[in-house]
Amino acid sequence: MAFVIIFGPMKSGKSLELISRVAPYEFAHDRVLYVQPIANTRDEGVWSRGGLKVRAVKVESLNDITATFDVIGIDEINMFPPDDVVVINKWLEKGKNVYISGLDLDYKAEMPEICRRILSLKPDEVVFKKAVCDVCRIFDARFTQIIHDGEELLGGIPSIVPEDGTFEYQARCRQCYKRAKI
């Protein structure tokens, strides 16, 4: 049994890490299921990052999952409803292997409720990924900044905005990240 969380900012290779942790189970002939939120409009049906492709089920809530599985890999957990933590707990109690990735902090450096509640389920391991800072190019970015018209946005928009070019997501290091408040 394994319960692993992979957290990190945008562009930190979280999905790649998730797939690399889950994929070996397929060789063990375990039933593997990859899940993404339906709200994710970037990819259609197939989930492809860094040259890897796996087929993912898209759901609004983890409650909607009907397939049986031994191992589940959930991407973008921050986009699921907070109460989905109840479903995850049930899977853990049944002995399922659960791997989860997502943004641990929104652009205001606040932890989404579902992420806080998942940590209270006591994972075996929490992996904190880093990205290359989009400002200074140092490989130590741990925050996500949203840019609009060349300015850092510090509030007044939802945690997740469309990636349509109006808003830009950047990975930033501690020195380059502009924080609204602690």
- Where in the sequence numbering do the catalytic residues fall? 76
For every residue of 71-84, which 3-state class applies, written as one string?
EEEECCHHHCCHHH
Considering only 16, 119, 135, 154, the residue that binds Zn ion (CB under 5 A) is 135
User: Does 71 participate in binding Zn ion (rule CB under 5 A)?
Assistant: no
- How many residues sit close enough to Zn ion to count as binding (CB under 5 A)? 5
Considering only 35, 133, 153, 160, the residue that binds Zn ion (CB under 5 A) is 133
Closer to Zn ion by CB, 3 or 177: give it: 177
User: Does 173 participate in binding Zn ion (rule CB under 5 A)?
Assistant: yes
Taking the C-alpha atoms of residue 75 and residue 30, their distance in angstroms, rounded to an integer, is 19
Region of 45-53, 77-85, 106-114, 165-173 interacting with Zn ion (CB under 5 A):
165-173
Closer to Zn ion by CB, 96 or 172: give it: 172
User: Does 179 participate in binding Zn ion (rule CB under 5 A)?
Assistant: no
For every residue of the chain, which 3-state class applies, written as one string?
CCEEEEECCCCCCHHHHHHHHHCHHHHCCCCEEEEEECCCCCCCCEEEECCEEEECEEECCHHHCCCCCCEEEECCHHHCCHHHHHHHHHHHHCCCEEEEEECCCCCCCCCCHHHHHHHCCCCCEEEECCECCCCCCCCCECEEEEEECCEECCCCCCCCCCCCCCEEEEEECCCCCCCCCC
Region of 27-35, 61-69, 92-100, 126-134 interacting with Zn ion (CB under 5 A):
126-134
Region of 45-53, 78-86, 87-95, 168-176 interacting with Zn ion (CB under 5 A):
168-176
User: Does 136 participate in binding Zn ion (rule CB under 5 A)?
Assistant: yes
User: Does 171 participate in binding Zn ion (rule CB under 5 A)?
Assistant: no
Residues in contact with Zn ion by CB under 5 A are: 133, 135-136, 173, 176
